[in-house]
Amino acid sequence: MIFSKISVFFTIILVLKSIQTMKSISKIVVFCCAFLFVSCLGSGNKEADENTKFEDFNTVSVNGEYQVSIPKFMRGTTALNEEASLQYQNALKETYTIIIDEPKAEFIEILKELEEYNDEASPLQNYRAIQMQLLGTTMNMHQQSEPKPNTIHGLESESVEISAHVEGVDEEITYFLTFIDGGEKVYMIMSWTFTSYADQYRTTFEMIAESFTPIRE
């Protein structure tokens, strides 16, 4: 049963958190704190701009590791998730994007220690699977698309779209998730808005994800 595995996973994590080598586990269980950053929804003006021009993007470089294109109507913030290497939002338009990164070798080692790693799947598929499992424990998901494999600037990726209700937010929220194997790290690009705005911003969120480019020395 998936829920029994998740329960064991969290129990072991609580024990291992005291071990110095497990510092990065907080990123793997980022969805446990999902309600912290989705709580921003509902506070803004619901009159969203339907005429957003897709060319109105800025290229943002992060830690000399990667760059991504962000709509000019979104602004940088530090309030969405403390583990994110990139955080942008526009509270008036109800649009939010974060990027989480995790050292791939450490991620694989941790899951193998917890006997949660599927050797028949790729590292990216394992990363996507565990994140989706954890997400399912924090939200009431109504719809979830099948993982869509893709290649983004030569990097293996998978994308998933889900619709869910979160405690404290009346309206349904749609999340656009893209998981990327960047070599030394795995990345999760997560954008979200109210489901009523999903069609309006879907292309914008897809363009953000597809613009992800590693900075190679």
Expressed as residue numbers, the domain containing 189 is: 2-214
The dihedral through the CA atoms of 31, 32, 36, 38 has a sign that is positive
Kindly provide the b/e burial profile for residues 155-194, where b requires at least 16 CB atoms within 10 angstroms of the residue's own CB.
bbbbbbbbbbebeebeebbbbbbbbbbbeebbbbbbbbbb
Residues 18-77 have pLDDT tens digits of 333 333 333 344 444 444 444 455 544 444 445 555 568 999 999 999 999 999 999 999
How sure is the predictor about 114, in pLDDT bands with cuts at 50, 70 and 90? confident
Pairing of the two strands 213-214 and 185-194: unpaired
pTM: 0.80
CATH of the domain at 39: 3.40.1000.10
Q: Number of folded domains in the chain?
A: 1
